[in-house]
């Protein structure tokens, strides 16, 4: 369950931040990532102010993530049932 929470809340942000670290190879990657995440969040907040449809897009992303989780759970359940037979 914790991994799902991390994927949903940090997935995109963390992937992009880690990619930046690999690209720039800073001396202190932890500090770099902390600043990068802070700026990422600040940019998202600014985007919300500029784009009134942002909230709707965010809701669609949340729904898509939940649907994907349900699909994965159903697939895992199906595999468990097949193993029992």
The pLDDT, as a whole number, for residue 56 is 66
Average pLDDT on 5-16 reads 79
The pLDDT, as a whole number, for residue 55 is 62
Q: What's the domain range around 52?
A: 2-84
Greater model confidence, 48 or 21:
21
8, 39, 77 from 11: Cα distances, Å: 6, 16, 24
Counting the structural domains of the chain, the total is 1
* Helix orientation angle between 2-24 and 54-84, rounded to the nearest 10 degrees: 120
Answering whether pTM is above 0.85, one says no
pLDDT tier for residue 63 given thresholds of 50, 70 and 90: confident
């Amino acid at each position: 369950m914790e991994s799902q929470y991390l994927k949903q809340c940090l997935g995109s942000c963390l992937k992009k931040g880690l990619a930046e670290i690999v690209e720039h190879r800073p001396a202190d990657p932890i500090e770099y990532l902390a600043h990068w995440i802070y700026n990422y969040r600040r940019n998202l907040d600014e985007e919300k102010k500029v784009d009134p449809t942002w909230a709707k897009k965010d809701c669609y992303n949340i729904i898509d993530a939940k649907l994907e989780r349900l699909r994965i759970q159903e697939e895992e359940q199906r595999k468990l049932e097949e193993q029992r037979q």
